[in-house]
A and B are shown apart, each in its own frame.
Chain A
Amino acid sequence: MSILHTVNKSPFERVNLDSCLGHAQDGDLVLLIEDGVFAALNGTSLAGRIATEAKRLKLYVLTADLEARGLDPANVVAGVEKADYGTYVDLAAEASAVHAWL
């Protein structure tokens, strides 16, 4: 069974995402929420790494948090899936554990 990791801090300010990615096992789920959604964007200094990680992890981004910040859900790195609150609940229910990287 895989773990659902949630990351809610900006990758440009804190190392939460970096640490999460460094510990997540192949096939784990990573959901970007709140200020964590900045990591999902195309064209950032981080986009290459996200694209690479998307090949071994299931990456998701919470659409409501993108839209809140004026960010286009269509403009996320290929391989990162859009999730609404319902999907968030489903992922949490299916995972063996939820690890919130606060």
Chain B
Amino acid sequence: MSEEDFDGGVVKKFMYVNRKAPYGTIYALEVLEMVLISAAFDQDVHLAFLDDGVFQIKKGQTPANIGVKNFSPTFRALEGYDIEKLFVEKESLEERGLTEADLLVPVEVISRADMGKLMAEMDVILTA
């Protein structure tokens, strides 16, 4: 499919919902790969972080001693792909003793109730 096919094409509201901690499983990294790919398709991309997903954007990750790559800086690069709609659930932060100041990217912190309403506005939702 050529790039022209997307000109004037339908723009859908996409939401990628991150619910897993990084490193313990491969889900977080795989979703991030998916988000980067989606940046090429000029869609209206939203990222949500809830439950253990909030740990993905915790500052100061240094996984060298457990032998895996630190992929957290990639979240700061999303801005360069025009992916700037990042939402974090307030209750999920609080349950884990975290605050907005612990996060490595600018985000909008919203309540669980508002997160639910935001999800209701989406055309496509992918959760992992």
Query: From DSSP, what is the main secondary structure of chain A's interface residues?
Result: loop
The answer, yes or no, to whether B8 is at the interface (CB within 8 Å) is: no
Question: Which of B20, B55, B64 is close to A69, meaning CB atoms less than 8 Å apart?
Answer: B55
Q: How far is the CB of A75 from chain B (nearest CB, A)?
A: 8
Task: Name B94's closest neighbour in chain A (CB-CB).
Answer: A45
How many residues belonging to B are interface residues under a CB distance threshold of 8 Å?
A: 25
Task: Name B59's closest neighbour in chain A (CB-CB).
Answer: A70
Question: Which of B51, B68, B94 is close to A13, meaning CB atoms less than 8 Å apart?
Answer: B51
- B55 contacts A64, C-beta separation under 8 Å: no
For residue B24, which residues in chain A have a CB less than 8 angstroms away from its CB? 8-10, 34-35
**Chain B residues packing against A (C-beta within 8 Å):** 20-25, 51-52, 55, 58-66, 68, 72, 94-97, 102
**Chain A residues packing against B (C-beta within 8 Å):** 8-10, 12-13, 34-35, 38, 41-45, 47, 64-65, 67-72
